[in-house]
Structure 1
Amino acid sequence: MKLVIFGLTVSSSWGNGHATLWRGLIRALAARGVRVVFFERDVPYYARHRDLPALPWAELVLYADWAEVAERARTEATSADAVMVTSYCPDGPAASRLAVEHGRVSVFYDMDAPVTLARLAAGETVDYLPSEGLGGFDLALSFTGGEALVRLERDLGARRALPLYGHVDPDHHRPGAVDPRYACDLSYLGTYAADRQPTVNALFAEPARLRPGQRFLLGGSGYDTAFPWTDNIYFLDHVAPPEHPAFFASSRLTLNVTRRDMAQMGYCPSGRLFEAAACGSPILTDIWEGLDLFFEPGREILTAATTEDALAALDLDAGELAGVARRARERTLDEHTSAHRATELLRLLSTAPASPRDLEEA
């Protein structure tokens, strides 16, 4: 099988959690005999921070502009079994036309569906979407479930919208020894986002202020002097994927905070959740509908809505936290690996409804 993907970036994880997810998924697909070709526009921002210039298990096509690669893209799409376009693809409309016109199975994968839908509702132009919506695609996939699926069909005309959730590659994310660089009582790994910051303040910065004797570690790009820094908050402006296992394994507790639009729609597990669980770190997360589909609150994951909730989690003893971490890791290995999602994606592609053009040709 051959799968062609037009996406944002797989080569750089700087400020972009999706790159790690793509790497795990593509590796798992390759293990199942799938040939993957990933088209990525070579933009300066990611080029400066490229940490995977070539894919060991697939073909990465870096290009400067669409005109330069259009003929190659058409050739690859025409010979593919499926063609996928993702949210935030810099050439989304052009790639979408190609996928719909030439793909045997055409797929739009919105890894940011609640954000996409919120921007549309606000009257914004979403430049990675085709102007006519998603009705031309055989299948629409979403990184989030629940209401997002309903609205992809209702508001964007998707003929069939289904979830393809986050995941983790357990060969790359596993428990390890504590690294003194990352040792802390509470860690948070996430790029700055204004809509996420009030929750980060309540569940991370304020506990740090109230617990000056404990160590807090923040990793991610985009933070500046406006952040409520305290002397016990230590900062890393980027934690590369190879360092994620040590980061999580060295955290007594790690925090997950969800983007506002995603949390409001629910069913929105980030890849970080599964990474941390696979590395054996107990997780504290904000609360959203559908969380219990992935982890059992109180048993496999801890939840917090207030600073007091976060402080209570920090007060749990080592045995309680270890039990939560162990059960989360077991659940992740049983249900949420990249191999599980690769199998699911192949099943969805094989059962995608026939497109109108295929019916006409038949």
Structure 2
Amino acid sequence: MKIAFYGSSLLSSYWNGAATYYRGLLKALSQLGYEITFYEPDVYDRRSNRDIEAPDWCAVVVYEATRHALMQVAACAAEADIVVKASGVGFEDEALLRAVLDHARPDALVVFWDVDAPATLGQLRDEPDHPLHAALRQIDLVLTYGGGDPVVWAYRAMGAKECVPIYNGLDPETHHPVASQARFACDLAFLGNRLPDREARVEAFFLDPASRLQEQRFLLGGSGWGDKPLPANVSWLGHVGTSDHNAFNVTPKAVLNISRDSMAANGFSPATRVFEAAGAGACLITDAWLGVELFLKPGEEILIARDGGDVAEIMRTLTPNRAKAIGASALRRVRGEHTYAMRAAVTDAVLRRHFERGTEEAA
């Protein structure tokens, strides 16, 4: 079956936290026989900050950020059996959604794939006239980056016919243990772009513990932090490309995951970096969010911090041997239960069920 997938970017992770998710899932779906074309706009300087070239498992069309180019690629939806419009494409999202819906064949399966469901749902609650409200009546299926039952119930209440969470996972060919690198040596590292709904939590869970632990070294990776005042023991790296993620995760004694406000409030939304870090064998510390135990076992495969004080206490007492043991346990768990091949199998079953249902109704 042919999939036309309209998303932010497959080729670049620059200001694009969904890149790893798209790559892992679409690669695994291609291995199940899907023929995929990914359409991404040329925005946010991503073309000059590519992490990968176009892969052999997915065709990629990069289009200019103009209304004319948008309409041209939207017309390609007519060639697909499955048409996917992702959230957060980054250029004229509402116009793209309308155009894709207009061009999809009547017999095609139309999917809205939400990679930031808690934030999207919050916007829908605040904006009764948002175009997505009407579009949900035409969309056959909502898939989400995560969110668990709270997101499923909320989307159903908004009028979605069906909503299924497809969680982040691990591609063992991409994220795996490697040799450490001196440039990433530190006690605690955090990787994340500076975003309005994350910054206060980075201050609380990362910068405040750093100020309390002046004898330890902290490393901050991600875009946008250049003018942020930092404690003297915090070094900022700037953007860290995906080719460096394994070394970034495996070298420090521990790596910190900090959820965005909406993700933390909703729960059941592990970030891609949780599985990236675990796949490299990192000792991961995460801020507390509902459902973490469904993915990794607290205290044995991941460490939980309720606030910056907890982070500081964990780092005061965490020994290198315990950190290595936690990282090894997490690596075993994600390889055994949380790969993108497993996520793709769930996705495939959901997609095929819709086509089988359509065949039965047609008969």
* Structure 2 residue 37 is matched with structure 1 residue 23: no
Number of the residue aligned with 2:342: 340
Q: Could you say what secondary structure the match of 1:181 adopts?
A: helix
Contact 1:186 1:253 in 2 (8 A): yes
Number of the residue aligned with 1:292: 293
Cα separation, partners in 2 of 1:170 and 1:87, compared to 1, 3 Å: same
Contact 2:11 2:53 in 1 (8 A): yes
Aligned partner (choices 116, 128, 135) of residue 120 of structure 2: 116
* 1:191-210 correspondence runs (5 A): 191-210=193-212
Cα separation, partners in 2 of 1:102 and 1:223, compared to 1, 3 Å: farther
- One-letter code of the match for 2:352? S
Cα separation, partners in 2 of 1:96 and 1:113, compared to 1, 3 Å: farther
Number of the residue aligned with 1:41: 41
Q: Could you say what secondary structure the match of 1:239 adopts?
A: coil
Number of the residue aligned with 2:156: 153
Where in structure 2 are there 5+ consecutive unaligned residues? none
Which deviates more, 202-211 or 267-276?
Answer: 202-211
Give CA deviations for 1:216-271 in whole Å, capped at 9, x if unaligned: 0000111143x341121111110000100010011110000111111111110111
Contact 1:164 1:345 in 2 (8 A): yes
* 1:342-357 correspondence runs (5 A): 342-352=344-354
Number of the residue aligned with 1:183: 185
Q: Could you say what secondary structure the match of 2:180 adopts?
A: coil
Q: C-alpha separation between the residues in 2 aligned to 1:124 and 1:154?
A: 13
Which deviates more, 14-23 or 180-189?
Answer: 14-23
Contact 1:78 1:102 in 2 (8 A): no
Number of the residue aligned with 1:4: 4
How many Å apart are 1:51 and its aligned residue? 3.1
How many Å apart are 1:355 and its aligned residue? 8.0
Cα separation, partners in 2 of 1:103 and 1:84, compared to 1, 3 Å: farther
How many Å apart are 1:44 and its aligned residue? 5.0
Which deviates more, 200-209 or 77-86?
Answer: 77-86
Alpha-carbon RMSD: 2.3
Give the share of equivalent positions with the same residue, in percent: 35
Q: C-alpha separation between the residues in 2 aligned to 1:135 and 1:355?
A: 18
Where in structure 1 are there 5+ consecutive unaligned residues? none
* 1:207-222 correspondence runs (5 A): 207-222=209-224
- One-letter code of the match for 1:4? A
TM-score (normalizing by structure 1): 0.91
Q: Could you say what secondary structure the match of 1:132 adopts?
A: helix
* Structure 2 residue 165 is matched with structure 1 residue 163: yes
* Structure 2 residue 324 is matched with structure 1 residue 310: no
Cα separation, partners in 2 of 1:246 and 1:297, compared to 1, 3 Å: same
Number of the residue aligned with 2:52: 52
Q: C-alpha separation between the residues in 2 aligned to 1:223 and 1:125?
A: 35
Cα separation, partners in 2 of 1:113 and 1:125, compared to 1, 3 Å: farther
Number of the residue aligned with 1:87: 87
Number of the residue aligned with 1:319: 321
Contact 1:3 1:81 in 2 (8 A): yes
- One-letter code of the match for 2:326? V
Number of the residue aligned with 1:259: 260
Give CA deviations for 1:110-151 in whole Å, capped at 9, x if unaligned: 01111111222333876xx54513121221111122211111
Contact 1:138 1:355 in 2 (8 A): no
Q: C-alpha separation between the residues in 1 aligned to 2:271 and 2:177?
A: 19
Cα separation, partners in 2 of 1:103 and 1:284, compared to 1, 3 Å: farther
Number of the residue aligned with 2:236: 235
How many Å apart are 1:359 and its aligned residue? 8.0
Aligned partner (choices 166, 172, 175) of residue 173 of structure 1: 175
Cα separation, partners in 2 of 1:320 and 1:184, compared to 1, 3 Å: same
Give CA deviations for 1:309-332 in whole Å, capped at 9, x if unaligned: 112221221222222111111111
Q: C-alpha separation between the residues in 1 aligned to 2:57 and 2:346?
A: 19
Cα separation, partners in 2 of 1:288 and 1:197, compared to 1, 3 Å: same
Which deviates more, 326-335 or 276-285?
Answer: 326-335
How many Å apart are 1:15 and its aligned residue? 1.6
Q: C-alpha separation between the residues in 2 aligned to 1:212 and 1:277?
A: 27
Q: Could you say what secondary structure the match of 1:339 adopts?
A: helix
How many Å apart are 1:292 and its aligned residue? 1.0
Q: How many residues align?
A: 356
Contact 1:146 1:265 in 2 (8 A): no
Which deviates more, 93-102 or 328-337?
Answer: 93-102
Q: Could you say what secondary structure the match of 2:270 adopts?
A: coil
Q: C-alpha separation between the residues in 1 aligned to 2:41 and 2:251?
A: 35
Contact 2:201 2:260 in 1 (8 A): no
Contact 1:96 1:130 in 2 (8 A): no
Q: C-alpha separation between the residues in 1 aligned to 2:252 and 2:103?
A: 43
Cα separation, partners in 2 of 1:138 and 1:100, compared to 1, 3 Å: farther
Number of the residue aligned with 2:278: 277
- One-letter code of the match for 1:108? F
How many Å apart are 1:212 and its aligned residue? 1.6
Cα separation, partners in 2 of 1:53 and 1:172, compared to 1, 3 Å: closer
